Structure 1
Amino acid sequence: MKQGSIQLGASALLLSLALTACGDRASAPAPAPTATPPVSDQPSEDVPPATAPTPLAPAKNGGLARMDGYGDLRLGGDAAEARKALGGDVAGKAEAPGGCYYLSSSSRPELPGLMIEGEKLVRYDVGEGEDIVAPGGGKVGMGADELRVLYAGRIETQPHKYVDGGEYWRIKDAAGPGVLLFEIVDGKASLWRVGLAPQVDYVEGCS
């Protein structure tokens, strides 16, 4: 065989091998894409559980005082419900079973005093310096003339037990047993309370 023929055959063989290698690479499957981890919609840190709002919101929000109760509490309701509504730091207990006492909470000083008797809520009191609106619109410090307009035709007056010229103004609830009572001293409301009879007429708190 001539040398030129040998070289031509070798070149053809090399070309064939090269084409086979390229075909193998072309037919090899492409590598699978790297999976992206799903994005979590959960917080990375522990989050404390949500707490339900207490039924007795701060009194200055207004609208909580009613003739039949205060907030979610109702006159005649169990004392246990009132304690739960006040939350922590609740003080007050009866000296004798079924006796009269007030519930209060040092962490909720803006709330009215809650009178309990027979382990039932029977009255709540709003005193000097407390800016809570009474049912019908009256407030501590409001003048007698303005109160007469708000409660026209509904006021029953009684003389004050301790203050000369002072009066108790009782306003009954036409739809229920609740009574709103203002103490009028020097021509204006010195305090007010809402409760059931006879407790709403107790002059000195529980007496």
Structure 2
Amino acid sequence: MARTPMVWNAPNVVTLARFALVPLVIVALVLGEQAVGWRWAAAGMFAFAAATDKVDGWLARRSGQVTDWGKLVDPIADKALVGTALVVLSILGDLPWWVTVLILVRELGITVMRFRLLRYVVIPASPGGKAKTVLQTIGITLFLMPLGTLPEALTVVAWVVMVAAVLLTVITGLDYVRRGLAVRSAAHT
């Protein structure tokens, strides 16, 4: 009989650590309004937390500790990290609200759709969806940096990456909707 992995294992602890970093990123970002060093801290913590997403998945697969809890909570931790950073950047006026709203609507909408379709099939992340995540992470990390104190070229790079992330976010969102409609249609025939 196959042994079920324990919920409290190393990969799930890494996921919880990502959750724990979310409020720390917020505090550093808000304090960054008074001291540039805090903006660097926010960017560093965000990049580190985003990198743990790969670590927990790798650990879970390598050690045979993939759990249903981890499959459920891991994407929630990712959305909490990205969503919180986007909202705070918009509140501070560093990122326009249209960027935050587009990304959040897509992320929440596709997450809800994927949960609703679970009774039929698991829709895995597409290569475009994975590229979208990488671009969002790089773009957010760049915007978390104290761009006003850095060469203007870095601000241009940050905007190019963020616009590419938004475009890929919309394109992959539409692709997920197309795939979801196909799954639903096939299930009802």
TM-score, scaled relative to structure 1: 0.25
Which structure would you say has the larger Rg? 1
TM-score, scaled relative to structure 2: 0.26
Q: Which has the higher contact order (CA 8 A, sep 6+)?
A: 2
Name the one with the larger helix percent: 2
